Amino acid sequence: MEFETLLKIVSSLLDKNEFTALRSMLGEINSVDIAEIMEQLEPVKRLRLFRIMSKDMSAEVFAYLEPESQTEIVKMISDRELQGLVNELYIDDAVDFLEEVPANVVTRVLEQATPETRKLINKFMNYPESSAGSIMTIEMVQLRDDMTARDAIESIRRTGLDKETVYTCYCTDAQHTLLGSVPLLHLLLFKEDTLVRDIMEDDAKLISVNTHDDQEDVAAIVKKYDLLSVPVVDNENRLVGIITVDDIVDVIEEEATEDFEKMAKVQHSDEGYLKTGVFSHVRHRIVWLLILMVSATFTGKLIDNFETTLSAVAGLTACIPMLMDTGGNSGNQASTLIIRGLAVGDITPKDYLKIVWKELRVAVICGLILGAVNIGRMFLLSQFSATGSHDIHVFLVVSAAMVFAVIVAKLMGCTLPIGAKLIHLDPALMAGPMLTTIVDLVTLIIYLSLANAFLMPK
């Protein structure tokens, strides 16, 4: 059914107080879609719809709402309802929600949580941002190694898990030390009285991450080994949670977005484009714009210093934008490929020499082609135009400068990101802005020096 139709039906059923029809209809709709419908309703209607749903359904839908709607609902419901909601939410959803809402809402929510939930929430909120701990879930199948397959299945049946959990069970000893993993299916395949420890894949093969590992590293591991989930352990190798691949999907997307932003010289906003206010947008963009504008003072000084040369030879000035753009584009091609290669693990800093050698050859070939085409282009222009240069020496100097600019740009383009990576800085953050400034400057220096040496009347 079309979303708009669905929205209309829900809205009119709400108006007519047709709660039974509404409830059975909601049963047929995915929670993600219900949340989307709720976003479109006015606050009072939204609350009514929220109250119609069963406790677990409303908690699930709540987790998919935007922080603004979550805050509004929390403000409007009674302490008792809030208590039900908080304790029904998955801990990681509760934490996600609490991280986005105003402090007074957080306080009220924590007051209504059971002491146990509160303790868990606090623990989660203390994990460093972007750490494995901050994205893990604690709803998982945890089996003791001395259980039998029968006990294990019975224990799973009892806890009645659902979609938050992938069907890999992790086995621990009595002290919660992680020992190994068992796919649920293996429990079914073995004789009922086989011990879990005899079924499980043991330690050597088991891949786990630490609560303090960076989410980007966790994502790399999950991708490399095609895992559906990975167990998270604390410093004593005790199992504290799992991270499922659907959370990794979000991490991968987030990291790619941050790299896009860094390369476009924009500071990251967690809120998404439309939600970010005008002044936040300005704040996220103005710093780099200012830095780069001020750093362009150097290119300006350079041009000032060569003003005599530029005004003495016709057509020299006109080629400045082309040279700078070509240099910039060449460098940007190299740096983007390297930054992305580093991010997806396709390249490591120890490939540096191979990369430089490759870029050098690519740059020489690209530079020569561009230089040759440029001579043709300038020659053609000179045939059809009175302004601009008609001097073959100018063509040669511009093309020579272009070849050098492309080579410098490509070499800097691969060196800066790898250099940044080596000294543990962010390749995307360091390489982008510095590259522009350096390539601009070097291109101009080469160009103006060549012009000065070969084109000025002796």
Q: Which of residues 137-156 bind a copy of itself (CB under 8 A)?
A: 153, 156
Site for a copy of itself contains 9 (CB under 8 A): no
**Which SS3 state, helix, strand or coil, does residue 157 take?**
helix
The pair of three-digit structure tokens given for residue 187, joined into one six-digit string: 């429990």
Site for a copy of itself contains 40 (CB under 8 A): no
Task: Using the CB atoms, write b or e for 11-35: b if 16+ within 10 Å.
Answer: eebbeeeeeeebeeebeebebebbb
Which residue among 102, 192, 257, 456 contacts a copy of itself (CB under 8 A)? 257
**Strand positions, DSSP E, 201-251:** 201-202, 209-210, 229-233, 239-244
User: Minimum Å distance from CB 126 to a copy of itself?
Assistant: 25
Site for a copy of itself contains 457 (CB under 8 A): no
Strand partners, 143: 171
Site for a copy of itself contains 296 (CB under 8 A): yes
Q: By CB under 8 A, which span of 15-23, 76-84, 99-107, 178-186 interacts with a copy of itself?
A: 178-186
Which residue among 109, 140, 242, 324 contacts a copy of itself (CB under 8 A)? 324
CA 42, CA 18: separation in Å to the nearest integer?
Answer: 18
Residue written as token pair 């059971």: 114
User: Minimum Å distance from CB 116 to a copy of itself?
Assistant: 25
Which residue among 54, 111, 119, 207 contacts a copy of itself (CB under 8 A)? 207
User: Minimum Å distance from CB 14 to a copy of itself?
Assistant: 20
For a copy of itself, the closer CB: 174 or 278: 278
Site for a copy of itself contains 256 (CB under 8 A): yes
Site for a copy of itself contains 133 (CB under 8 A): no
Site for a copy of itself contains 160 (CB under 8 A): yes
Amino acid identity at 113: A
Which residue among 19, 90, 288, 352 contacts a copy of itself (CB under 8 A)? 288
CA 82, CA 399: separation in Å to the nearest integer?
Answer: 71
Which residue among 241, 421, 436, 448 contacts a copy of itself (CB under 8 A)? 436
Angle in degrees, CA 193, 170, 240, rounded to 5: 140
CA 342, CA 430: separation in Å to the nearest integer?
Answer: 13
**Which SS3 state, helix, strand or coil, does residue 131 take?**
strand
Number of residues near a copy of itself (by CB under 8 A): 117
Site for a copy of itself contains 259 (CB under 8 A): yes
Q: By CB under 8 A, which span of 129-137, 235-243, 296-304, 417-425 interacts with a copy of itself?
A: 296-304
For a copy of itself, the closer CB: 122 or 348: 348
DSSP, res 349: G
DSSP per position, 9-54: HHHHHHHTT-HHHHHHHHTTS-HHHHHHHHHHS-HHHHHHHHHHS-
Which residue among 61, 121, 230, 252 contacts a copy of itself (CB under 8 A)? 252
Site for a copy of itself contains 456 (CB under 8 A): no
Question: Residues 360 to 389: which contact a copy of itself by CB under 8 A?
Answer: 361-362, 365-366, 369-370, 373-374, 377, 381, 385, 387-388
Question: Residues 268 to 287: which contact a copy of itself by CB under 8 A?
Answer: 272-274, 278-279, 281-282, 285-286
**Which SS3 state, helix, strand or coil, does residue 184 take?**
helix
Q: By CB under 8 A, which span of 40-48, 209-217, 340-348, 450-458 interacts with a copy of itself?
A: 340-348
Max Cα distance, the chain (Å): 99
Question: Residues 69 to 108: which contact a copy of itself by CB under 8 A?
Answer: none
Tally Cβ neighbours within 10 Å of residue 174: 8
Site for a copy of itself contains 263 (CB under 8 A): yes
Site for a copy of itself contains 261 (CB under 8 A): yes
**Pairing mode, strands 229-233 and 201-202:** unpaired
For a copy of itself, the closer CB: 173 or 307: 307
The pair of three-digit structure tokens given for residue 263, joined into one six-digit string: 């390369």
Strand partners, 6: none
Amino acid identity at 68: E
Question: Residues 393 to 412: which contact a copy of itself by CB under 8 A?
Answer: 406
Which residue among 80, 157, 424, 458 contacts a copy of itself (CB under 8 A)? 157
Question: Residues 44 to 63: which contact a copy of itself by CB under 8 A?
Answer: none
Burial tier of 457 (Cβ tally within 10 Å: 0-12, 13-18, 19+): exposed
Strand partners, 268: none
Q: How many residues does the chain have?
A: 458
Contacts of 245-248 with CB under 8 Å at 24 or more apart are 245/166, 247/135, 247/137, 248/218, 248/219, 248/222, 248/223
Which residue among 354, 393, 453, 456 contacts a copy of itself (CB under 8 A)? 354
For a copy of itself, the closer CB: 231 or 341: 341
